[in-house]
Structure 1
């Protein structure tokens, strides 16, 4: 989605669990028409968790009949977008000619690389009937050697992703490896992303086999080392420790993280790069129409002034 990331400092919660490095309370932003997002990354104290450089939680929002989301074509470089829905549908169209309806539980990974444009709109049927929407959008910063790779798009329906169910826990492995199973999604650097839902009183392990790790609490409440945390929160953990997360009530959360990149990234509007000059070039490319266009789209979001 085309949402300008906030880079100004935002205070996190005070935390007492030694394994926790930072607790981030997402900042709420109203994007208009009652559509709000909660932004957890980037944060004034932490730019990335593994390669996750942007993390937005949108909804729940109820669109009435005839209304919907219309994110006009906009560009990206140097990143991959992950749109993951719990409710509702989004129609994805991009400049590579990919057209796909994103539905709950599906994995949609659009790798921008050297440049791609896309739009995100409510599908016609849902616009006619109205729909509830709730979901997440993340950006995965690409490693230095892969920032200029060719753009691409992967789609896996919910039924194509591995699911682990055990004693009150359901885990859908969206990307990478978790709970002993591996997602079919192809990645250019090591990272993981898993939806975990738990019943009250159930404990879940967050393994220590990833360099950087976090849990995003979508809703519910968890207990870690006798401290309680209520959603929405992003809990960022120190490396090395095996963490046990106990659900204080029915909870939905995302386990995420991966290998740290080799250095920080510059981020401006929808552009991410290790090189400031590359972002300036992308600005001019969008402003002068050098990005490929999205087929059958006749609008676009202008470069912010």
Structure 2
């Protein structure tokens, strides 16, 4: 091979090596950049958690002292130094407790919020009842107990006792993850057979009445007009109004906007009563992990 050809081949080899090294460097830079972004998001999450926990503690203390704490749905805005936190307070009586909700309420939730047909809602409601009730006999239309679950090859069997967590609904035969995610924002504990309209989130009122914007309008009414306005809806089997009843348990959903434009949410259930084994004047029933979210109204109206 001539000296010219050798130089040409060497040059091509060098160019390939340079190109390869450039690709490696670029990939490394992207990887480092990705890790930096992830680290920044994690640091913001930790700060969000501290801010949200502080705001939730202040709100729990307020609910414990306020004479009407836990009586009605409200959204508060707290300013903590340079941080602004929105907190949605939903008393237990304003959400759907599947353990005690009436058939009409449970079916309406599955149909109007979950998107099931009327017939499908009746079947799933029966299966939820069978999951909870202590007997082993299917009840209602389309009910299912252990024998039906085994015959269908379903991976779980009815608990035949109260649910420990609403995520157990995913074990009910026919309940899909899509259905569960749709109804999840409106599930609660320690509720009643009907929903207290003054305590219900606007999105739940809108869905169950089929009237977008009604919930926000009702909550914005002055106190002297609420009773008359509520009467038109409490005549239905879905809603009631118990103005003198303040629930001990409430769901506190707090949100904070970080410097990077991310909105963070922390959701906590609190009982206004103190228990011997707690370190606070109230009792924290359970806490959901801090997560990024779209906003209060978007979450209420998924």
Give the TM-score of the pair, scaled to structure 2: 0.25
Larger Rg: 2
- Decide which structure has greater strand share: 1
- Decide which structure has greater helix share: 2
